[in-house]
Structure 1
Amino acid sequence: MTKPTVNIPFNEMQDVLYKLLLKYKFSESKAQLMARVFAENTLDGVNSHGINRVPLFIKYVKEGIIKIDTEAEKAETFGSIERWDGNHGPGIINATKCTTRAIELAKTHGMGLVALRNTNHWMRGGTYGWQAANAGCISILFTNTKPNMPPWGGKDSRIGNNPFIISIPRESGHIVLDMAISQFAFGKINEYKLKGDKLPYPGGWDADNNLSNDPEKILKKERGLPIGYWKGSALSMILDMLATLLSAGNSTYKVGLKAFETGVSQIFLCIAPEVFNDKNIQETLLNEIIDYTHDVEPMHAGDKIYYPGERTLQTRTKNLKNGIPVSTEIWNTVLSLM
């Protein structure tokens, strides 16, 4: 049974979240930034890493897992590569700061990489892809997580769904790929649970080791299905290795030893495309690829082919006009925290 939703205007959601974060003693500037990001994530249709995540975020704050008075600081410099320590501060603040720094390094050197350790969940990874694209940079970003998928052929979760983002700036609409290495991000699985819906495809294993599209059965043991089966399993491992090695931080194994998901490792790589001195043809090259894929005949009449990020822009426009659809249960929970 589909559960009730309510439409909330973007400005109202942002204002409620700002006041809520002030209540929990965040500075005005941090409260403003986080309220905006939580609200924008929800505006873009990613409720799972927007408004739906707010109650858990506040729980982590109350339990001292997220340190409200700390943020990422530079630990080591290697030219255009830097290591930063998140000091267990808010993931949104740390990721925004490290993306900004990677952009600065890219503008100076052509390419910049910031490897971040000891940070918290960054919510929607695509936020920082959009940030880089808005600054005119290509970005490649990823994070490790707690163990929530079994390596291919295994029973127990030993690898993370390690979200992976690539963004490319484009005058007529940025290209932003934002995907977990699981078939469905766990926040998305929980979103289906809140709606009372089944997943459209199998998303993980149930307690009897059967693939399932039932969100409640998958969430019971948190054993997600890797994208591409064994290929996704291998990709998860590689991303974890790179994030851990480059940041000198925690691996998925170490994160999994903690009672809560904290102290994760993240990578922020930015490239300034202007260094190639061919800006006049870059848009043409991108449009060539987009037009070629748009032009394919769909398998089902009425369907349309999208490039990564295209539907996000459509959702953003629709929700600004009509209000953002939110689970009534979640919205009431957020208001009860005020």
Structure 2
Amino acid sequence: MAATSSQPQTSSPQQMHYIQAADLQGWVIQVLIANKTPPDHAATVAKCLVAADLRGVDTHGANRVPSYMERIRQNALDPTASPTLRQITPVVAQVDARNGFGFVAAHAGMARAIEMAQTFGIGMVSVKHSNHFGMSAWLVKQALEANMMSLVFTNSSPALPVWGGKEKLMGVSPIACGAPGGESAKPFILDMAPSIAARGKIYKALRRGERIPMDWALDKDGNRTDDPESALGGVMLPMGGPKGSALSIMMDVFSGVFSGAAFAGHVTGPYDPSRPSDVGHFLVAIKPDLFMTMREFGERMAYLYKRVVESEKMAGVDRIYFPGEIEILTEQNRSVEGIPFAEAEVASLNKEAQRVGVAPLKVSRVGE
């Protein structure tokens, strides 16, 4: 993956406030507990949200807290619910999230998939009646910590038209997978949406007063727009035309149809507090040493890594990155420098803290 991208245009830049990861995680836990979330569940949710912020996936980090809390207040999400697990075969299980946090259900599902894979080489878990689970890469990382390869699918609320259509029908549902990298290579971590840009980036631009690239979305009248508010009222555009559309349908097949969760445009979005989301997930863990030793697998991954990052660069590219490597470097930097939040984002988060009597966020420094 080359270090080139299409960046949004900034219309009214805001001063950035930097918050240390430990302070942010502790603050999120307090807000969640104050909103009836059990402490162990709060710790899981907070860890996953802050992991996204550390990796630079700000669209799926702590800025999601206000929307989650509003869903709790409107009884659209049950923060007290604990997922239940049913074993189907020795290598297949299903989790019923019972309308609790998607983070908690997906974490339990991946833990079970890993456990089955450690014994049988592969484990598959389907999750139903769930909610938004944030950045998919944290589940890939959960598998990597157990030295496992993984597949992570989820469906989501309507945001994309199917190819040839004009109405919102399919979700901007991320496709994620991963594999350990061995001793001398970064792990492979893929986490991407089937749209040109993730829908969360539109919400981020709206919060920060930024414009968006003209090729991201259409407004309600079908015209290209750089206004995030108009884009949210319209549709996202699939990457690669019919290819992105087909990938979003695939996510619905494996995550929605297969699990018994909502599908075909009936998933409720995380910013809509009117009713339960009923999201579905599909999780697979695989032992890398099924066909060779772990050492050989690691050596082969290291060779692949070297071939990718040392391949000849096109004009204008300074460095080629392995999938997931930019996020690893961002995490290293933000672990030291702190996580940046715009003024409006800090104000929105502190409003949630004030609602429940939690102290405001501790800002370590203010800067560009």
What range is the shorter-chain TM-score in?
Answer: over 0.9
For 2:25 and 2:257, the matched residues in 1 are separated by: 37
SS for the counterpart of 2:190 is strand
Counterpart in 1 of 2:313? 298
Counterpart in 1 of 2:343? 328
* Superposition pairs of residues 40-55 of structure 1, within 5 angstroms: 40-55=51-66
User: Which of 77, 101, 105 matches 1:94?
Assistant: 105
Counterpart in 1 of 2:277? 262
Counterpart in 2 of 1:216? 229
CA contact (8 A) 2:55 2:330 kept: yes
For 1:229 and 1:311, the matched residues in 2 are separated by: 26
Q: Does 1:185 align with 2:198?
A: yes
CA contact (8 A) 2:181 2:302 kept: no
Structure 1: give runs of 5+ residues left out of the alignment. Answer: none
Tell me by how many angstroms 1:323 deviates.
0.8
Deviations 1:241-264 (A, max 9, x none): 122333122214332599456101
Counterpart in 1 of 2:246? 234
Q: Does 1:3 align with 2:18?
A: no
Counterpart in 2 of 1:126? 137
Tell me by how many angstroms 1:108 deviates.
1.2
Counterpart in 1 of 2:326? 311
SS for the counterpart of 1:337 is helix
User: Which of 13, 18, 23 matches 1:12?
Assistant: 23
CA contact (8 A) 1:126 1:176 kept: yes
Q: Does 1:145 align with 2:156?
A: yes
SS for the counterpart of 1:253 is coil
For 2:292 and 2:304, the matched residues in 1 are separated by: 20
Tell me by how many angstroms 1:78 deviates.
2.2
For 1:297 and 1:274, the matched residues in 2 are separated by: 31
Question: Which stretch has the larger CA shift, 189-198 or 231-240?
Answer: 189-198
Tell me by how many angstroms 1:332 deviates.
1.9
For 2:251 and 2:90, the matched residues in 1 are separated by: 23
Tell me by how many angstroms 1:234 deviates.
1.1
* Superposition pairs of residues 21-100 of structure 1, within 5 angstroms: 21-100=32-111
For 1:32 and 1:244, the matched residues in 2 are separated by: 27
User: Which of 195, 198, 219 matches 1:206?
Assistant: 219
Moved over 6 A (4+): none
For 2:291 and 2:118, the matched residues in 1 are separated by: 12
For 1:34 and 1:122, the matched residues in 2 are separated by: 9
Q: Does 1:104 align with 2:115?
A: yes
CA contact (8 A) 1:140 1:166 kept: yes
Tell me by how many angstroms 1:113 deviates.
0.3
SS for the counterpart of 2:285 is strand
Tell me by how many angstroms 1:201 deviates.
5.7
CA contact (8 A) 1:145 1:261 kept: no
Letter in 2 for 1:204: A
SS for the counterpart of 1:141 is strand
For 1:261 and 1:164, the matched residues in 2 are separated by: 23
For 2:153 and 2:246, the matched residues in 1 are separated by: 15
CA contact (8 A) 2:289 2:297 kept: no
Tell me the matched-pair count: 337
Question: Which stretch has the larger CA shift, 277-286 or 159-168?
Answer: 277-286
Question: Which stretch has the larger CA shift, 76-85 or 94-103?
Answer: 76-85
Q: Which has the higher helix share?
A: 1
Query: What value does the CA root-mean-square deviation take over the aligned residues?
Result: 1.8
1:272–1:2 Cα change, 3 Å: same
Counterpart in 2 of 1:274? 289
User: Which of 158, 161, 166 matches 2:169?
Assistant: 158
Q: More relative contact order in 1 or in 2 (CA 8 Å, sep 6+)?
A: 2
Normalised by the size of structure 1, how large is the TM-score? 0.94
Question: Which stretch has the larger CA shift, 5-14 or 277-286?
Answer: 277-286
Structure 2: give runs of 5+ residues left out of the alignment. Answer: 1-11, 354-368
For 1:135 and 1:286, the matched residues in 2 are separated by: 17
For 2:288 and 2:138, the matched residues in 1 are separated by: 20
CA contact (8 A) 2:214 2:224 kept: no
Deviations 1:181-219 (A, max 9, x none): 111111112112223333346111123312334323211
Letter in 2 for 1:95: A
Percent identity, please: 27
For 1:271 and 1:156, the matched residues in 2 are separated by: 37
